[in-house]
């Protein structure tokens, strides 16, 4: 046996995770390695009982070709996921066998995570996740754990890579569902307001708009004037023979004058994020109330829809089947060559890797000056020569 490789998935689920797990596992097994799947992301590493007689079946799964081959054709993650952050774990999530040791309201469990990795005999760890999940992976690398990271997020906002697993399926589904919803908007001559993913980055609104899904979009990188959006929506509607118009609203977008994003509640996860939601309905209500001012005194009603989990559930599209395969094999290339502390990535259409430090202390967001027309609230359609496949990159 050459080495033991651990693999986990953290954060939100996306189509493409299982193909990535499959790629890592099959290649590793055929080259003589052992692969341990860690269940529920970092949560599984926290909950492991480091005793050879303990039942850790809820926390780990030894992977075989048969297991990953079947799962690799499906969406989600068969290893399951969580938003656990071991360095800031609330006391209520401390496992029973460690409750006497960790009694603070918030606890740093990293020392025991390191013990559990040693107990499992893991020689290299491959976390698949967004910047939150991977930031803790970078922390473990700083503590001496060999880590090779794979980027995943619907928002496509992990720094250091032009592409993250899940983004293509998200864009594909957003375009598809927006076009389906047009029939309702057109039948009733309404505005169509669709709330899409995008906490800090507006890629999931900009790319579908650029592809023709919507005439307007508002993104987290630039606060928008609701009156101006209403004016534009009325203009689009009056020019459309079917008398409707469409706007995509990033969940993190802010109306000018707002002090913060729109949240569902006050509760935050272990990474300090409150659950976003509601900006789409706020925009819809505002458009309805303001529409008479720009529509000869007549109110325009609204179809408002939050896409949510519809774009992250189900099977991956073609790109989210191919890119995870390449990412998984690239991760194994790094492992077998003895390299760690790397993030597998795509830049200018080519696979490569960058230091994990690329994800720390920065955010990957839309370059508004390059790609977004703030006055017209839509993507910029010029100077495409030489741009990569997905237009807007990490510029890493």
Distance CA 266, CA 244 (A): 35
In three-state secondary structure terms, 336 is helix
Distance CA 159, CA 162 (A): 8
Distance CA 391, CA 49 (A): 47
Distance CA 277, CA 282 (A): 10
Report the greatest alpha carbon distance in the chain. Answer: 76
DSSP alpha helix (H) spans, 54-166: 65-71, 110-120, 131-142
Q: What six digits make up the tokens of 210? A: 């650029």
Radius of gyration over alpha carbons of the chain, in Å?
23
Distance CA 344, CA 149 (A): 6
Q: Is the dihedral of CA 391, 181, 201, 219 positive or negative?
A: positive
Which sequence positions are flagged as catalytic? Answer: 155
Distance CA 170, CA 349 (A): 19
Please report, for residues 204, 229, 231, 365, 383, the alpha-carbon distance to residue 376 in angstroms, rounded to integers and kept in the order given.
18, 8, 10, 19, 18
Distance CA 142, CA 133 (A): 15
């Amino acid at each position: 046996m050459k080495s033991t490789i651990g693999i986990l998935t953290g954060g939100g689920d996306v189509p493409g995770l299982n193909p990535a797990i499959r790629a890592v596992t099959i290649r590793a097994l055929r080259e003589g390695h052992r692969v341990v799947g860690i269940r529920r992301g970092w949560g599984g590493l926290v909950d492991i009982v480091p005793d050879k007689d303990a039942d850790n079946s809820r926390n780990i799964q030894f992977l075989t070709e048969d297991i990953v081959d079947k799962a690799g054709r499906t969406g989600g993650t068969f290893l399951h996921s969580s938003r656990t952050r071991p360095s800031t774990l609330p006391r209520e999530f401390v496992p029973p066998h460690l409750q006497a040791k960790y009694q603070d309201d918030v606890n740093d469990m990293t020392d025991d995570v390191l013990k559990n990795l040693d107990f499992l005999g893991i020689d290299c760890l491959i976390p698949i996740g967004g910047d939150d999940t991977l930031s803790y992976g970078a922390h473990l690398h700083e503590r001496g754990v060999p880590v090779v990271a794979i980027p995943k997020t619907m928002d496509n906002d992990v720094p250091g890579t032009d592409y993250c697993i899940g983004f293509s399926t998200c864009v594909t589904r957003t375009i598809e569902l927006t076009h389906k919803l047009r029939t309702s908007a057109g039948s009733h001559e309404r505005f169509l307001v669709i709330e899409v993913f995008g906490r800090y980055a507006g890629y999931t609104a900009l790319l579908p708009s650029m592809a023709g899904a919507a005439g307007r979009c508002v993104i987290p990188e630039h606060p928008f004037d609701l009156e101006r959006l209403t004016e534009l929506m009325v203009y689009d509607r009056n020019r459309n023979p079917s008398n409707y118009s469409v706007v995509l609203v990033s969940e993190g977008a802010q109306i000018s004058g707002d002090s913060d994003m729109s949240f569902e509640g006050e509760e935050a996860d272990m990474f300090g994020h409150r659950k976003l939601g509601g900006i789409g309905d706020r925009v819809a209500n505002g458009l309805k109330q303001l529409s008479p001012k720009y529509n000869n005194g007549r109110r325009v009603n609204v179809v408002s829809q939050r896409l949510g989990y519809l774009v992250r559930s189900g099977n991956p599209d073609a790109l989210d089947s191919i890119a995870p395969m390449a990412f998984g094999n690239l991760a194994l290339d790094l492992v077998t060559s003895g390299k760690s502390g790397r993030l597998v990535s795509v830049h200018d259409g080519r696979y490569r890797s960058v230091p994990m430090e690329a994800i720390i202390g920065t955010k990957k967001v839309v370059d508004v000056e390059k790609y977004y027309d703030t006055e017209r609230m839509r993507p910029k359609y010029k100077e495409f020569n030489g741009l990569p496949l997905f237009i807007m990159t990490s510029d890493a």
